[in-house]
Structure 1
C-alpha cells in the first residue's frame, strides 16, 4: 500500500495562551535533515536490485520518516530525498512481486486469471469511486488512495493487468506446445507400434502402445491405440498357435526321420550280421589252424612263431567284434583259446627277448675284448719293428751297430756327424 502524502500546509498551531510571548526554539530557526532520510534513500536504491528484501524495510521506514518530517513543524528537512527512497522501495518491491506473479501465472492458468481479475477489480473500484457520487466506502477509499499516490497505484494496476494477461498467454502457449508435442509423440508411438506389430515384435509393440496411452490426449487416438493393442493380443495368440503347430509338425518330422534312420540302421546292421556270418564261415577254419599252430609252437617253445600265429588269429577275430558272430559257440571257443594262450606266449616272447639281449651283450663284450687284444698285438709288433730299425747318422748313412730301440745312443755315429734319427 502506498502511504498517503502529508497535507500541503502544516496544521495550524494551537492558540498561544495570554501572557508574555514564548522564546522561539532554536531548532525551528536552524532545521536539519532527518537522521533516517539517508538510510531510507539507500534502502530504496538497494530495492532496485534486492527487491522486497530491501523494498519492504524502505516502505516501512519511509512511512515513519515522512510522518515525522510532516509533524516536525520545519525542524527536519530531506523530505524530497526520503520520498524518493520510499518510492524506489515501493517500485522495487512492486517489480519483483509482479515478476513472481508472472512466473506463477505462466505455470498455472487460474493464478494468471486471478491476477488479471485483481487488476480489473482494482481499476473498476477506482473508476466507480471517482465517477459515482455516494459510492461505497471501499470504492471511495480506493479512489482517494489513487489521487494521493497515483505514482504507485496506477502502475500497480497496470502491472497486474499486464502480468495476468502475459502469464495467461504464456500458459496457453506452453499448453499448446505441449499439446502439439504430445500429438507428435502420440503419432510416432502409434506408428512405431504398427511397425513392431508388422514385424511380429509384440512386446515392443506393447511398449510403444503404453507410450501412446500416456501421450495421446484425443479420444479418437486413444480408441485407435486400444484397438491396436487388442490387435496385438490377437496376433500374438495367432503367432503362438502357429509356432506351436510348426513345432508339433517339426517334432513329427523328426520322429519320422528318426524312425526311418533307425529302420535303415537296423537293416544295415542285419546286413552286416549276415555278411559277418558268411565271412566267419569262410575264415573260421583258417583261424582254427592259426590257433592250433600257435599252440604247437608254444609247446615247442618257438615263441616268436607262436606269437605271429596268435596275432593273425586275433586280427581275424577282431573283424567280428560287436556282432552276433562273436557270441556264437564256435567264435567264443576260438576266443577262449586265444585268451588262454596269450599269457604263456607273451611270457615266452619276453623270456626269449631277454635271452637274446643277454647273448647280444655277451657277444659285444667278446668282440670288444678281441678288438682290445688285437690292438695290443699291433702295438707290440710296432714296438718290435721300431726296435729293429738302425740309427741314421747326420751324414745320411746308417749306423752298422746301433739300433733305434737302444736306451742310449752314446758312441753311435761318432765319425758320421752324430745321430739324426731312425731308419725310415
Structure 2
C-alpha cells in the first residue's frame, strides 16, 4: 500500500511539474509493483482462509465471477447499467490491474474450494479408516472375551464414525458386548460353583480315605501292641529289678528298649489305652531314679579318674625326683679331669672346692665323661 500511495503522489507531481521533474518510468514501475504485491498478498491470504473455510472460498470465487460478468456486460451491452459501464471503463484504463485481479480471485476461490474439499475428503477417509480399525479391534476383543478392551475400541469408533449406518453398527456392537459380558460373568460364576463343588467332593473323599487309613493304622497298632506288650512288660520288669539292684546302666538299657517300643504307638488310640498308659507311667516313674543313679556312677567314675590322675602325677613326680637324685649321685661320683688330660686320683666332681686338685697337672678343666 505505501508503494501505491507514494507512486500516485510522485506521478501527480511529475505531471504537474510540466517537465521539471523526471523519473516517471521508475515511478510507474514502483506503482505497478505495489499493486502486484498487494494483489499477491491479498490472494495468498484469501487462499489460506478459503482453504480452511469453504464459504469464504465460495465468496471469493463468486466475487471473481461477478466482477468478470460485470466487465463483460459493461463492454458488450450499449445500454448497460452505470456500475457495469464503470467496471468496463476501469478494465480498459488499467487492464494490467483488473484482469489479473479477477483471474486471481477466480483461481484463488477455486483452488481454496478444491483444497478445502480435498482436506475434508481426506479427513473423512481417515475417520472412516479409524472407524473401521476401531470396529475391527472391538470385534477381535469380543472374540477374545476382553470386554474392557472392546469397550475402549467402541468408544474410539463412536468418536470417529460419522455415518449413520456405522454408528448403528457401533451401538449394536456395544449391546452385544454387554450381553456377552453378562454371559461370560454367568458362565464364570457357574464354573466357579462347579469348581468349589468338585473341591468339596474331593475334600470329602480325602477325609473319608484318611479316616479309612487311620482306622487301618489303629487296627494294626492294636494288633502290634497285643504282640509287643509282653516284651514291653518284661523290659520294664528287668529295668525295675536292675534299679533295685542299683545296676543303673542295665536298667537304662532295659528302660530305653521299653520306651523305644512304646514310641511306635504315639499318636494312636493305643497310647490312650489303660495298659499302654500304665507302661508309660512306669517308664516316667523309673527314669528319674535311673538318671540319678547314672549321675552317681558318672560322678564316681570322674572321682576315680581324678584320683588315678593324681596318683599318676605323684608317681611321675617321685620318679623324676629319683632320676634327679641318681643323676646328682652319678655326677658326684665322677673324678675331676686335669687340663693335661689325666684324672685326679683323689678329687671327685661332687665336692664344693677343688683346691689342691691337679696342682701338678695344669689345673682342673672339668669332670670325666
Query: Do they superpose with TM above 0.5?
Result: yes
Counterparts of 1:65-214 in structure 2 under 5 Å?
78-214=23-159
Counterparts of 1:14-413 in structure 2 under 5 Å?
56-62=1-7, 78-298=23-243, 301-393=246-338, 397-413=342-358
Structure 1: segments with no counterpart, 5+ residues = 1-55
Question: Is the partner of 1:361 in helix, strand or coil?
Answer: helix
More moved, 261-270 vs 122-131: 122-131
Structure 2: segments with no counterpart, 5+ residues = none
CA distance in 1, matches of 2:42, 2:355: 148
Question: Is the partner of 1:321 in helix, strand or coil?
Answer: coil
Residues 351, 115 of structure 1: CA spacing in aligned structure 2 closer, same or farther, 3 A cutoff? farther
Q: Encode CA deviations 1:119-165: one digit per residue, 9 max, x unaligned.
A: 11121122223333343333333333333433322222111111111
Residues 314, 72 of structure 1: CA spacing in aligned structure 2 closer, same or farther, 3 A cutoff? farther
Q: Encode CA deviations 1:30-69: one digit per residue, 9 max, x unaligned.
A: xxxxxxxxxxxxxxxxxxxxxxxxxx34445555555566
Q: Encode CA deviations 1:84-138: one digit per residue, 9 max, x unaligned.
A: 3343333223212211221222222222222111111121122223333343333
Residues 387, 169 of structure 1: CA spacing in aligned structure 2 closer, same or farther, 3 A cutoff? same
- Displacement after TM superposition at 1:286 (Å): 3.3
Match of 1:41 in 2: none
- Displacement after TM superposition at 1:178 (Å): 3.1
Question: Is the partner of 1:322 in helix, strand or coil?
Answer: coil
Residues 142, 307 of structure 1: CA spacing in aligned structure 2 closer, same or farther, 3 A cutoff? farther
Question: Is the partner of 1:377 in helix, strand or coil?
Answer: helix
CA distance in 1, matches of 2:280, 2:343: 88
| Number of residue-to-residue matches in the alignment | 369
Question: Is the partner of 2:102 in helix, strand or coil?
Answer: helix
What TM-score, normalized to structure 2? 0.83
RMSD: 3.3
- Displacement after TM superposition at 1:227 (Å): 4.7
- Displacement after TM superposition at 1:241 (Å): 3.9
CA distance in 2, matches of 1:354, 1:148: 146
- Displacement after TM superposition at 1:215 (Å): 3.8
- Displacement after TM superposition at 1:226 (Å): 4.7
CA distance in 2, matches of 1:253, 1:186: 46
Question: Is the partner of 2:206 in helix, strand or coil?
Answer: helix
More moved, 309-318 vs 407-416: 407-416
- Displacement after TM superposition at 1:272 (Å): 0.9
Residues 406, 93 of structure 1: CA spacing in aligned structure 2 closer, same or farther, 3 A cutoff? farther
What TM-score, normalized to structure 1? 0.73
Q: Encode CA deviations 1:185-227: one digit per residue, 9 max, x unaligned.
A: 4444444444444434343344334434444445555555555
CA distance in 1, matches of 2:12, 2:244: 151
Question: Is the partner of 1:364 in helix, strand or coil?
Answer: helix
More moved, 84-93 vs 231-240: 231-240
More helix by share: 2
